[in-house]
Amino acid sequence: MERSADKIKTLAEAAAQVQLWKAKGEKVVFTNGCFDIMHLGHVDYLEKARSIGDRLVLGLNTDDSVSRFKGPTRPIQDEQSRARILAALQFIDLVVFFNEDTPLNLIAELIPDVLVKGSDYLAENIVGAEVVKRNGGVVKTIDFVSGYSTTRIVEKIKQT
């Protein structure tokens, strides 16, 4: 059985793995995010993303990029903890960090067959959409489970 830590790859390792999967004819799906406190909404979203293809690659924001995006009190969990928790999910095949504000460079390096984001994004505004489409891929959005968010969980904790 593969250990969850073995699914966490450097960019070079991730690119090599994606090329191997694609050479076997497997459809590679890519999504990204912070995934600070895992909840039902995350699990549902990631499971749906994986169902679109044969492999799911998750671009995970580093702690620095989460802080720039979400503010100085985030992330709540460090990047290694977040990566291991995500890698432990059976429907995630690979986790790779990115430190930039967007995953554009990561997407350009990996060239997934499918780029997925939540339906709160318009497909044409999704970072990396042009790169994926230019290389014959598609961009899809997935509806979120209503009522679940890390921000909402943090607020609820603060109220107790």
| Domain segments of the chain as ranges | 4-159
CATH top-level class of 4-159? alpha beta
What pTM did the predictor assign? Answer: 0.92
Contact criterion met (CB below 8 Å) for 60 and 82:
yes
The amino acid occupying position 109 is E
Q: Which two tokens stand for residue 128?
A: 């990396």
Taking 70 as the threshold, does the pLDDT of residue 1 lie above it?
no
Pick from 57-61, 69-73, 78-82, 114-118: least confident: 69-73
Tens of pLDDT along 101-126? 999 999 999 999 999 998 887 777 89
DSSP letter for each residue of 124-141? GGSTTHHHHHHTT-EEEE
